[in-house]
A and B are shown apart, each in its own frame.
Chain A
């Protein structure tokens, strides 16, 4: 395995770092990447590349599929000190960044030329450390590093000064480096504040409001953040006013999106029909779904814990279910039903009765009635048993 990993690294390294080419020892280990999801033609022109004539194509950035280790196994903190001469090193919180990367392109966002192996190529494999050079087709190491960081950082910090990342080169440098590294150790990105209901005000002619119930979607349909959030920008949360502090509540911020209509609708269209604009675009913001209002009866705490599909089936459009318990609870027959789970333990006299004797028409949405047998009794003033602490099933 190790050999294969090495050869894969070599292949990709060779695409860019041609000086390596010719160092026979590395090539001798060249085994075809068996399980890798990559064909020879991705990198080589023609069907028979040879050692002397590898016929390498320009590196196919977009076609090489990244194969990354799980993000937990990446390094927590990296000290970057290779190129910096004027400034001290940068203590980079790799884990904190990686934590959030799933929502913005994944590891691939930075490790853009990585091979299909589990080994991560270092930037230096391709980006030369010296700026004065003959091959200027890609940025040097200093340029490559800074491009990764600054495009994002300058968006939210509104600053490009060196000191926001680099330590000062002075007597305190190594103390400060150790301090920063210790501070980052074991640190994860804080749990995201997740919105419940988001109201979009759109310019659509068909109804300007789209109300999106984020928690309904995420929980009910068991979605991962990255199922919808694929190319988020850190700026969504990490915006700073120039020279100021981070915005206190990312959820309350309105963000002007730069996306196209297609990109904006893509996550919705993956389930909702493209031709049914009116389903989402309405004239008023919508209230959250309330089972009591829509279905006529409130869900108790047992029903609330269920997924919609449990009662309404797997189809995307939910159909109405009647309010009879036995429609779902098929095994509930007089004598077998443990009434105490409803907080009322029936006395022996009532235990053997048909459900319909009290629950008229088997409609459990209505309060039970005693009138069928008793002239002088009424629920809930009088109860056919004793109230108990509701027990789990």
Chain B
């Protein structure tokens, strides 16, 4: 069974709660793994290079055992008539936007988890299911997840998706930076398949350096902005574009880390009423019990 037993859940919840209270001092040992390694990897998505072939969507599904049509069917460009979001059946999707400089060369934008340096999902998760790994990947542990969907609400990019259609053991799903592949020394599946190498995988610092060099060399091709370099405190996936990011479906976000914001709110609430430990435990326990009951009833 995936769900943890009641005692260990309460223990983790307490640890997270304590960690939240003690923010700025020390992170409790039992807290979620949250490493900000200087050697973390990144991906540069050059939306001026992407041709919208959607091969990445196919590769991503195949790598994650998600059902998919054959690759040859991905040439269908009519899907671009609607804006799509990643969900539990497709961890990354490509959307298309007009190119004011050349109507025949629209901009295509691949969307997936940004793998934030300070992940809001991680901070929001009350059971510590999320972790930020050494290589920059933000992954989550399905065994720990209780399906509370706090991460969905916290993520500034609306990435985590919930398997609503699954009655039995629904889980949160999102791009995991192909952690299984990268630990084996392989490239993320999407990076590997991209025919034009619109996705460049490398150390985050190096990726930023290259993006800056491209902007310097081909000034009229790019807007002078690397999305994700500073947004919400920096992300592992970063984007280059030929027109303003707000016109390409990117939310306008400040440089403050999103979790800071959410924690501040929680602290505010908890300061005068209930200790967070108790509240978290209560909330979580209710959810977990509902979930368990539903499963038992089936």
Closest A residue to B193 by beta carbon equals: A86
Q: A160–B75 contact, CB under 8 A?
A: yes
Question: Of B74, B187, B195, B200, which contacts A150 at CB under 8 A?
Answer: B195
- Taken together as a complex, chains A and B put the C-alpha atoms of A163 and B74 apart, in Å, by 12
User: How near does chain A come to B199, taking the closest CB pair, in angstroms?
Assistant: 9
Q: Using Cβ atoms and an 8 Å threshold, which residues of chain A touch B191? A: 131
User: How near does chain A come to B108, taking the closest CB pair, in angstroms?
Assistant: 9
Of B49, B195, B213, most buried by chain A (CB within 10 Å of CB) is B195
Q: A160–B52 contact, CB under 8 A?
A: yes
User: How near does chain B come to A115, taking the closest CB pair, in angstroms?
Assistant: 20
Q: A140–B51 contact, CB under 8 A?
A: no
- Taken together as a complex, chains A and B put the C-alpha atoms of A158 and B213 apart, in Å, by 31
Chain A stretch 124-142: residues in CB contact (< 8 A) with chain B: 131-132, 134, 136-137, 139-140, 142
- Check B101 for interface membership: any CB of A closer than 8 A: yes
Q: Using Cβ atoms and an 8 Å threshold, which residues of chain A touch B196? A: 139, 143, 146-147, 150
Closest A residue to B187 by beta carbon equals: A132
Of A147, A163, A256, most buried by chain B (CB within 10 Å of CB) is A147
Question: Of A131, A139, A154, A163, which contacts B187 at CB under 8 A?
Answer: A131
Q: A163–B72 contact, CB under 8 A?
A: yes
Q: A159–B75 contact, CB under 8 A?
A: yes
Question: Of B101, B197, B202, B206, which contacts A139 at CB under 8 A?
Answer: B197
- Taken together as a complex, chains A and B put the C-alpha atoms of A258 and B207 apart, in Å, by 32
- Check B103 for interface membership: any CB of A closer than 8 A: yes
- Taken together as a complex, chains A and B put the C-alpha atoms of A138 and B95 apart, in Å, by 25
- Check A375 for interface membership: any CB of B closer than 8 A: no
User: How near does chain B come to A255, taking the closest CB pair, in angstroms?
Assistant: 10
Chain A residues proximal to chain B, CB less than 8 Å: 131-132, 134, 136-137, 139-140, 142-144, 146-147, 150-151, 154-156, 158-163, 233, 235, 242, 256, 258
Chain B residues proximal to chain A, CB less than 8 Å: 49, 51-53, 71-72, 74-75, 77, 101-105, 185-187, 191-192, 194-198, 200-202, 206-207, 210, 213
13 more A-B residue pairs beyond the given contacts A131-B197, A136-B207, A161-B74, with a C-beta to C-beta distance below 8 A: A131-B187, A139-B200, A146-B51, A147-B49, A150-B51, A150-B53, A154-B51, A159-B77, A161-B75, A162-B195, A258-B101, A258-B102, A258-B103
